[in-house]
Amino acid sequence: MRFGSRIVNLLGILLVLALWQAAGAQLGDALLATPVQVARALVETVQTGAFWAALWQMLWKMMLGYALALVIGIPLGVAMGRVPVVNAIVKPWASMFIVISAAAIVPLFIILMGRGLVFSTAIVFVVTVWYVVVTMTEAARSVSPKLLNVARSFAANDFQRFRYVILPSLHPFIMIAARVGLVHALRAMITAEMFISAGFGGLLNDAGLDLSTAPLFALIVALMIISVSMTSALRWIAHRSAPWYASRTGDR
């Protein structure tokens, strides 16, 4: 079954690549570079030092904002899920801020904070934290009352119930929040870097100036590979560290 689904996945990818190749050959590389041209451009791109320097610069700064979003978002989300007062205070703000796009706030943040580490960390944090908060709020609400009642019947106090029941049961959801947050953090960081034409965003800007679309698509493909690799790594960690949840959801 698993082998079969892999084959179907592969066939799906090959079909899209074949259609893309045909469309690209028809339209020309100024409009749509073919997968072969993109692959060549990708090989050229990854051989340059500028690519790796830009990638490192982007990932390092993004991880800082992302980590901050997790450190603040997870406890805040749990508090919202378990304490009605906190939920009443924070929820309206979370509902409003979650719809703000990075592109809308970047110009303001540049003027307020300049273009350094504080700027990129702040953009990633502001865009990411609300997704983490909302995910963790729902997770904290869904902790099984049965488990909490069992703990109560064993005379566990509030702290013990949190430490030994709520926290372990939240673990899979922390990993989900981390995965959701990571995608938004990456998008926010790219947007921020495109505005200040630095790092990976700067490479995307520069590639946009070429008449051929191959260098641009090569960078987009590289970005997709990075995103898929990072989220897959988080999924793998989640499955290894919370096998009970993975088996329950049927997620492989």
Binding site for other proteins (CB under 8 A): 27-28, 30-31, 60, 63-64, 67, 71, 107, 110-111, 114-115, 117, 168, 171, 175, 194-198, 202, 205-213, 215, 237, 240-242
Cα–Cα separations (whole angstroms), residue 128 to 56, 108, 175: 20, 18, 14
Name the DSSP letter for residue 166: I
Q: Which amino acid is at 195?
A: F
Nearer to other proteins, 12 or 208 (CB): 208
Angle at 62 (CA atoms; ends 60, 67), nearest 5 degrees: 95
Contact partners, residue 33, CB within 8 Å, separation at least 6: 24, 41, 212, 213, 214, 217
Q: How far is the CB of 4 from other proteins (least distance, A)?
A: 26
Cα–Cα separations (whole angstroms), residue 160 to 61, 81, 167: 37, 18, 10
Nearer to other proteins, 5 or 101 (CB): 101
Measured CA to CA, the distance from residue 232 to residue 27 in angstroms comes to 34
Q: How far is the CB of 173 from other proteins (least distance, A)?
A: 12
Nearer to other proteins, 146 or 240 (CB): 240
Q: How far is the CB of 165 from other proteins (least distance, A)?
A: 14
Nearer to other proteins, 90 or 198 (CB): 198
Pull the structure tokens for residue 245.
Answer: 């949840």
Q: How far is the CB of 215 from other proteins (least distance, A)?
A: 6
Pull the structure tokens for residue 98.
Answer: 């979650």
Measured CA to CA, the distance from residue 46 to residue 219 in angstroms comes to 9
Nearer to other proteins, 94 or 178 (CB): 178
Measured CA to CA, the distance from residue 221 to residue 180 in angstroms comes to 20
Q: How far is the CB of 84 from other proteins (least distance, A)?
A: 28
Q: How far is the CB of 146 from other proteins (least distance, A)?
A: 20
Residue indicated by tokens 């603040």: 72
Nearer to other proteins, 78 or 207 (CB): 207
